[in-house]
Amino acid sequence: MEQNVAAEQNIFVVDHKLKKNSRQADVERLAKTHWLSDYARDIFLTMREQELRRKPMFFLSPQLSERQRMLQLLKLVTRAHKLSRCALHLAVYYMDRFVDHYKIRPDKLLLVAITCLHIAAQIENTDAFIPHYSEMNRMVKNAYTAFEYKAVERKILCFLNFELVRPTTASFVELFACSFLTRSDFKNYTEMLDESERNHYIQPYQRYISFEEMLSILAQLLLRMADYTLHNLPMICHPFWLPPALLQCARSAGSGAGRSTSLG
């Protein structure tokens, strides 16, 4: 136990003065989840219910300037180990809330980022393979020990109260990515282009040779837009709650509470 406390104190900045306060491959993979169509509404309602229990974020961390560096590492590790988009987004959710709540030693920020991704991969990755900490640690030149990873993992899990399943922008996008467009939409779109060419001799928008091509291209675009939300923190935050992930996605498509930094 004393060893655990010592490891945590070597990672977190303890300040007792501060008070505590309570692309195509993706589309093909999504297209194969036929079972989603049977339970889509139930899944959506469950996700909305879980979304309401997301931890709030107050954007009071003095380390927000380091967020981009941590995010770049998360993306690099995600690509290197072929983790899912939802795992990346969930890791960012964990990371943002945790860093918003605790002040981390600057040289341990990447340790926190990797740990968040490792936890998220176990929740979101559908493949049996989840990289070990030792494999992910190579991405930072083996900067941290196995004991440090376990110490931070325990702290993050306790901070989240082991409530690890939380929907993100990517969760909603992947749910709707292969169902937002219908064959009727494709037919109406093609007829609109035909009429424009006949009457005005112009083609105002891109023409797709098939419904499958249109769905694939638009779904890939939608997935990329979901990733853009990782880089953009909301400019205005409700004092008691973070805007829902689905609202953030929609916003992107169209375009006092205290902070605890003390470990007891």
Highest mean pLDDT among 30-44, 53-67, 110-124, 209-223: 110-124
Pair 150, 103 in one domain: yes
Same domain, 144 and 112: yes
**pTM of full prediction above 0.75:** no
- Rounded CA-CA distance 90/71 in Å is 12
| CATH of residue 147 | 1.10.472.10
221 vs 96, which has greater pLDDT?
A: 96
pLDDT at position 3 over 80: no
**pLDDT tens digits along 96-141:** 999 988 888 899 999 999 999 999 998 887 666 788 999 999 999 9
Model confidence at 213, pLDDT cuts 50, 70, 90, reads confident
- Rounded distance between C-alpha atoms, residue 200 and residue 180, angstroms: 29
Residue indicated by tokens 């638009």: 218
Average pLDDT for the chain: 75
Neighbours of 157 (CB within 10 A): 15
Cβ atoms of 99 and 154 within 8 Å: the answer is no
Reported as a pLDDT band with limits 50, 70 and 90, residue 257 is very low
User: Does residue 14 surpass a pLDDT of 70?
Assistant: no
List the alpha helices (DSSP H) in the chain. Answer: 2-9, 24-31, 35-51, 67-80, 85-101, 109-124, 133-137, 146-159, 169-176, 183-200, 211-228, 245-253
Do residues 10 and 107 lie in contact, with contact meaning Cβ atoms separated by under 8 Å? no
User: What is the model's pLDDT at position 252?
Assistant: 42
* Helix/strand/coil for 44: helix
User: Looking at 166, 198, 220, which one is the last position of a domain?
Assistant: 166
Q: Is the Cβ–Cβ distance between 74 and 95 less than 8 Å?
A: yes
Please indicate, yes or no, whether residues 98 and 119 belong to a single structural domain of this protein: yes
9 domain residue, yes or no:
no
The answer to whether position 225 is within a domain reads yes
> With 50 as the cut, is the pLDDT of residue 247 above it?
no
79 and 144 both lie in a single domain: yes
Work out the burial of residue 63: count CB atoms within 10 Å of its CB; fewer than 13 is exposed, 13-18 middle, 19 or more buried: middle
Mark whether 94 and 65 lie in a shared domain.
yes
Domain range for residue 192? Answer: 171-230
Q: What confidence tier does 35 reach under pLDDT thresholds 50, 70, 90?
A: very low
Task: Clarify whether residues 186 and 153 are in a common domain.
Answer: no
CA distance readout (Å), 196 to 184, 190, 209, 230, 253: 18, 10, 17, 38, 26
| Backbone torsion region of residue 59, taken as left when φ is above 0, otherwise alpha when ψ lies between -120 and 50, otherwise beta | left
Same domain, 176 and 215: yes
Kindly state whether residue 208 falls inside one of the protein's structural domains: yes
Residues 68 and 159 in one domain: yes
Domain count, the chain: 2
Domain match, 131 and 157 both = yes
Tell me, what amino acid is at 19?
K
